[in-house]
Structure 1
Amino acid sequence: MINITAMIECPKGSNHKYDYDPEKRQFTLSKILPAGLSFPFDFGSIPGTVGGDGDPLDIIVISEITGFPGCLINCRIIGVLQVEQTERDGETMRNDRYIGIPDVSQLFSETNDLSDLPEAILNQLEAFFKNYNEQAGKEFRVIKRLNAKEAASVIKPLLANHKV
């Protein structure tokens, strides 16, 4: 099992999209989601990493709590949604979504693998990101769901600079 520290950018239930700028060391409001669309769980990044889109790796933090922009949460990685995202200009890139559980979670304390989550939660996450990207004129396609062991083998080499 891989343990990381996630930095929350967009809290669960928020319809605001924030982006963290590591050079300026600040958050910027980058968009307001359409009415009725909000983040189903905390969404953020894994500091010190770089994904296929050139940004830090994305992470969804599944929990009964709600963080806030800048909140650091120690998590275990339970899986990853491997994703292809097609931008408005037609460029397609990988933009995977890692899935983490906070070490302090009580509700999800026994959740150690993607297979431990209800299928409904995974379907909700995929539907949210598909809809979110469609609203921005992009295409979002889940290629594969990886379990905790598979996710660990993918993320381990990307954590070289992960320090918080």
Structure 2
Amino acid sequence: MQTIEVVIESPRATQAKYKYDPKQKIFILKRLLPLGMVFPYDFGFIPGTLGEDGDPLDALVLSEFASFTGAHLTCRIIGALKAVQGKEGKKAIRNDRYFCVPAGSITYSTIDTIDQLGKEHHKQIEEFFINYNKVDGKVFSCLGTVDAEKAFKMIRKGKE
């Protein structure tokens, strides 16, 4: 079982998108999502990594509870959603989403792969990211998923 640390920026069920500012070492409100739109799960980043967008790798933490901005959670990787995103008419860059489960989760303790979430659940998460980016004037395209082992290798590459 591969574990990583995830720092939560925007907790489950919040309308607020926070972003960590490493220079000031604080979380800053980046924007609010439209009425009725909230994060389906805790959303944050994997510290010590860097993606093509210049930010740490993004992580979605599937859990039965909402944590809080700034929480550090030890999580099991269950896979990743490979994706590209960018402004309309400009070159899109990779910006994958890593799916994980907190080590202490009870409800999700038997989930080891993204496939176990079911196609409809998985589709709803994809649609969230598509619409979340659309609100920000970006296009988000899903390229498929990878299993936990491949996702962990991708994270290691993001640490190099």
User: Per the shorter chain, which TM-score range?
Assistant: over 0.9
Shift of the alpha carbon at 1:150?
A: 1.7
Indicate the residue corresponding to 2:126 in structure 1.
Answer: 126
Aligned length: 160
Listed as ranges, the gaps of 5+ residues in structure 2 are none
Shift of the alpha carbon at 1:112?
A: 1.2
Shift of the alpha carbon at 1:148?
A: 1.0
Post-superposition Cα deviations, 1:105-154, rounded to whole Å, max 9, x if no partner, equal 00011111112222222111100010011111110000111111221222
Indicate the residue corresponding to 1:14 in structure 2.
Answer: 14
Shift of the alpha carbon at 1:89?
A: 6.2
For 2:126 and 2:52, locate their aligned partners in 1 and report how far apart those are by CA, in whole Å.
Answer: 19
Shift of the alpha carbon at 1:92?
A: 1.1
- Map of 1:33-112 to 2, 5 A cutoff? 33-88=33-88, 90-112=90-112
Between stretches 2-11 and 83-92, larger displacement belongs to 83-92
The alignment-based identity, stated in percent, is 41
Post-superposition Cα deviations, 1:33-82, rounded to whole Å, max 9, x if no partner, equal 11111100000001111011000000000000101100011001110011
Runs of 4+ in 1 over 4 A off after TM superposition: none
Indicate the residue corresponding to 1:117 in structure 2.
Answer: 117
Indicate the residue corresponding to 1:159 in structure 2.
Answer: 159
Q: Which amino acid aligns with 2:97?
A: R
The two structures have a TM-score, normalised by structure 1, of 0.93
For 1:133 and 1:14, locate their aligned partners in 2 and report how far apart those are by CA, in whole Å.
Answer: 16
Between stretches 18-27 and 147-156, larger displacement belongs to 147-156
Tell me the SS of whatever aligns to 2:121. Answer: helix
Indicate the residue corresponding to 1:150 in structure 2.
Answer: 150
